[in-house]
Amino acid sequence: MTEIEQVGLQNVYTPLPLELHILFSVFATIVLMIQFFRKKRVCYLLSTLAIDATLITHFAFENKRVILVLEIIELLLVAGCIIDIVAAYVKRKKETRSEKEQESLLEEQQKDREKREIISDKDILDKAFDSELNDLDDREN
């Protein structure tokens, strides 16, 4: 095939040449799988599948049905990523709120403890001098 004929068969869905696309997909797969195993988040696995599925466009770019199915699958994978990200955000928000409430409760308990200690220290001092005064009163009588 001449160069002019190859341009006519250019893949309009993925403008990268096949070799560069494969290299990009392998690199992205490695990075995203590392993240998936480190963080245990589904969005990394879904992203990996979405990126790797784009390789189909190099082999079936003339078949409109395959491309349509691929587009639907890609949209579902992206929607799954968004749902996972939102769910993780909501979970993290709840955990943060719970931690703040726990810290607040602990601070209140600490303040109550300190207040009771101050009161008990005051009572000890008052009682200490009361017994000496009572002894003096008993001697005078």
> What pTM, to 2 d.p., does this model score?
0.60
The length of the chain in residues reads 141
For the stretch 73-126, pLDDT in tens is 999 999 999 999 999 999 999 999 888 888 888 888 888 777 776 666 666 666
CA gap 49, 126 in Å, rounded: 75
CA gap 58, 119 in Å, rounded: 80
Farthest CA pair distance, the chain: 128
